[in-house]
Structure 1
Amino acid sequence: MPEGKIIKALSGFYYVLNEDGITQCRGRGVFRKNKITPLVGDEVVFQAENDIEGYILEVRDRKNELVRPPIANVDQSILVFSALEPEFSTTLLDRFLVLVEYNQIEPIICITKIDLINSEQLAKLNSYVEDYQKAGYEVIMTSSETDAGIEELFPRLDGKISVFAGQSGVGKSSLLNAIRPDLDLKTDDISSHLGRGKHTTRHVELIKVGNGLVADTPGFSSLEFTGIEVEELNYCFPEFEKASENCKFRGCQHIAEPKCAVKAGVDTGEIPKYRYKHYKEFLQEIKDRKPRY
């Protein structure tokens, strides 16, 4: 049986990219019975009725799935943040990073609009970049106006399903236009191109960029920490996870416990104070989410 990847789901039809092109498929009734909903990004086995139509017979196991947008098997997330307009926010970036880490998706931090900042602002931004690189993250500085960083980002998309995520106005559309000019996306209009405009049916679609596939989304489940437990947050901060191996107590939450290696790392400057501040805020948010009896 032929196999392929779902690149678009719309009105009960699934468009499966395979070696012969794209086949429009429906799901078998057994999926509804077993409460399985095929998602964009799924690897599937299908039966072709003819050259253009068929039925999905099996959905392969997923390595991850997101709720909003409904998409599976995401390899990496390009977290797009602007240097200016809107101003670079470590709080929002750390929130995105936690959600990406929790979903076991490889993050790449992409800072746009670097052509808009002066030398003093650049120096401040570079200090943040060094912090995130030290924590193990890849950071690419870009400008859609000057094409700076585009050649560095483009090959990172090859052979992968990538989700471009970030707040409105950071330049996701401009960035994708710079990477693939024929898309000709209007600024902040990528959602319309993907079928999520005012007069089109809401759906998710993967578009081909280079040798990879890209989806655009404003965020993950409205950026809420739904499903993340207190003891899991530590693992969403790579430098905390590494330092916590030297904490006195197993399962240390790095708040009031004695001989905490994470707090010691903050005191010595090994761990940035703002990252620790965000960790405490996120931890409290998760605790407050739990039902009180």
Structure 2
Amino acid sequence: MPEGTIIKALSGFYYVLHDHQITQCRGRGVFRKKKVTPLVGDHVVFQAENEREGYILEIKERQNELVRPPIANVDQALLVFSAIEPEFSTTLLDRFLVLVESNDIEPVICITKIDLLSDEKRAEIEQFASDYEKMGYDVLLTSAATLDGVESLYDYLNHKVTVIAGQSGVGKSSLLNAMKPELELKTNDISSALGRGKHTTRHVELIFVQEGLVADTPGFSSLEFMDLELENLPFCFPEMARLSEECKFRGCMHLKEPKCAVKQAVESGEIPSYRYEHYLQFVEEIKQRKPRY
């Protein structure tokens, strides 16, 4: 039986890439009985009745998967955040980072619309970029309008499956259009009344960009840590995970424990105070989470 990768899921059909050909497939009823839904990015075994139609018979074991956006087997996440319109939010960025880190996906931070910044605002954004680089993240400053920084993105995308995610209206589709103009992906301006963009991407689809596969995904503006256990949260903050070995107590949660290396790093300015505040916020959120049965 042939094997391939689902590159698009739409209206109950799954488009499977195999030997440079795409076969439109349906899922077998066995998946519904097992409550398993094929995802974009899944490696599958399928049966083709002809060159255009077939059925998915088996879903191979997943390396990882995300719920929102629904995609599997991702190598890295390009987290796209605008410098302005909508305003850059470290709180929202940290939410995305925690989600990505908890799924063992490598994050890359991309800040867009830098061409719209005043000198003062640019200095502020560059300081945030410096902060996150010190934490251990790769940070790119880009503009789809002027193409600043776009060229450097190709090195990150080649030979990898990348999910592009971020808040609505930050310019994800514009960035993809800048990298591959023939895509002509639909974009919408920011609503001046709401201060956020409309969803312009309606489904998840893997697109060839250079020598990699990129998923343009529907934008969303909130994330809940439904499956993240509290004791695993510190490991989703790499700068804290590195320092935890220096804490007095093994399994330190960096809250009220004495001789905590993380709290000392916050006090000295080594870890930005806003980053630690977000950590405390996420701790409380997970503690208050209603149990699921």
State the TM-score, normalized to the length of structure 1. 0.90
SS in 1 for 2:208: strand
Q: Is the alpha carbon distance of 1:208 and 1:20 closer, same or farther for their aligned partners in structure 2, counting shifts above 3 Å?
A: closer
Query: CA–CA distance in 2 between the matches of 1:103 and 1:214?
Result: 18
The within-5 A match list for 1:59-138 is: 59-138=59-138
Q: Is the alpha carbon distance of 1:218 and 1:48 closer, same or farther for their aligned partners in structure 2, counting shifts above 3 Å?
A: closer
Aligned to 2:192: none
Deviating 4+ runs (over 6 angstroms): none
User: Which amino acid letter does the alignment assign opposite residue 273 of structure 1?
Assistant: S
Q: Is the alpha carbon distance of 1:31 and 1:218 closer, same or farther for their aligned partners in structure 2, counting shifts above 3 Å?
A: closer
Query: CA–CA distance in 1 between the matches of 2:141 and 2:103?
Result: 24
Per-residue CA shift, 1:49-108, capped at 9, x if unaligned?
222222222211001111223211122111111112222111111111111111111111
Q: CA deviation at 1:273?
A: 1.0
Aligned to 2:193: none
Per-residue CA shift, 1:195-221, capped at 9, x if unaligned?
x2xxxxxx4322222222222335579
Query: CA–CA distance in 1 between the matches of 2:221 and 2:118?
Result: 35
Computed over aligned residues only, the root mean square deviation of the Cα atoms, in angstroms, reads 2.0
Answer yes or no: is the 8 Å Cα contact 2:108–2:137 preserved in 1.
yes
Per-residue CA shift, 1:217-241, capped at 9, x if unaligned?
3557941111112111101100001
Answer yes or no: is the 8 Å Cα contact 1:68–1:222 preserved in 2.
no
Q: Is the alpha carbon distance of 1:56 and 1:94 closer, same or farther for their aligned partners in structure 2, counting shifts above 3 Å?
A: same
2:136 paired with 1:141 = no
User: Which amino acid letter does the alignment assign opposite residue 148 of structure 1?
Assistant: D
SS in 2 for 1:223: coil
Aligned to 2:259: 259
Unaligned ranges ≥5, structure 1: 197-202
The within-5 A match list for 1:1-293 is: 1-188=1-188, 192=200, 196=202, 203-218=203-218, 222-291=222-291
Answer yes or no: is the 8 Å Cα contact 1:16–1:25 preserved in 2.
yes
Per-residue CA shift, 1:257-281, capped at 9, x if unaligned?
1011100111122111111111011
SS in 2 for 1:289: coil
Answer yes or no: is the 8 Å Cα contact 2:44–2:58 preserved in 1.
yes
Query: CA–CA distance in 2 between the matches of 1:226 and 1:177?
Result: 33
Answer yes or no: is the 8 Å Cα contact 1:67–1:220 preserved in 2.
no
What percentage of aligned pairs have identical amino acids? Answer: 69
Aligned residues: 283
Query: CA–CA distance in 2 between the matches of 1:290 and 1:32?
Result: 27
Q: Is the alpha carbon distance of 1:11 and 1:184 closer, same or farther for their aligned partners in structure 2, counting shifts above 3 Å?
A: closer
Q: Is the alpha carbon distance of 1:29 and 1:77 closer, same or farther for their aligned partners in structure 2, counting shifts above 3 Å?
A: same
Query: CA–CA distance in 2 between the matches of 1:91 and 1:30?
Result: 41
User: Which amino acid letter does the alignment assign opposite residue 4 of structure 2?
Assistant: G
SS in 1 for 2:74: coil
Aligned to 1:200: none
Answer yes or no: is the 8 Å Cα contact 2:199–2:218 preserved in 1.
no
Answer yes or no: is the 8 Å Cα contact 2:83–2:112 preserved in 1.
yes
Unaligned ranges ≥5, structure 2: 190-197
Answer yes or no: is the 8 Å Cα contact 2:6–2:17 preserved in 1.
yes
Q: CA deviation at 1:252?
A: 1.2
Query: CA–CA distance in 2 between the matches of 1:101 and 1:112?
Result: 22
State the TM-score, normalized to the length of structure 2. 0.90
Q: Is the alpha carbon distance of 1:142 and 1:106 closer, same or farther for their aligned partners in structure 2, counting shifts above 3 Å?
A: same
Q: Is the alpha carbon distance of 1:119 and 1:71 closer, same or farther for their aligned partners in structure 2, counting shifts above 3 Å?
A: same
Q: Name whichever of 86-95 and 21-30 sits farther off.
A: 21-30
